[in-house]
Amino acid sequence: MRTIQTSHGKLIAALAQHDAIEVSLAGTSEFDLSLMQLLIAARRSAAKAGKTLCLTSPADGALKDALARAGFLAGDAEDRASDTALWTNGTGAR
């Protein structure tokens, strides 16, 4: 729980200071649902504020597996398509 609280605080601070945020998950080998939810919420909050948040590279390996298990890479709804773009497009996906 502390890790996600720390990540949340860092994202809030970054969004307050910058118009565009790129998140690197390189070197992270374990992903839980709270991180995925945090990144989606942060991306939506950024968009509402006219800002952008994206990953530095498309999800692969352990992250892609975790996203698939959690159902984040499936579905046809517009919101789901927007969320899927966060994971699959990498830098520049705004």
Predicted confidence (pLDDT) per residue in 12-21, tens digit? 999 999 999 9
Task: Please count the structural domains in the chain.
Answer: 1
pLDDT, residue 91, reads 60
The CATH number of whichever domain residue 42 belongs to comes to: 3.30.750
Please indicate, yes or no, if residue 8 is contained in any of the structural domains: yes
Other Cβ atoms closer than 10 A to 81: 10
User: What does pTM read for this prediction?
Assistant: 0.77
Alpha carbon distance 28, 78 (integer Å): 29
**Low-confidence spans in the chain with pLDDT less than 50:** 92-94
Alpha carbon distance 92, 94 (integer Å): 6
Note down the domain range covering 74: 2-89
pLDDT digits (tens, 9 = 90+) for 76-86: 555 556 666 77
DSSP calls for 46-74:
HHHTT-EEEESS---HHHHHHHHHHTTT-
Please indicate, yes or no, if residue 82 is contained in any of the structural domains: yes
Please indicate, yes or no, if residue 94 is contained in any of the structural domains: no
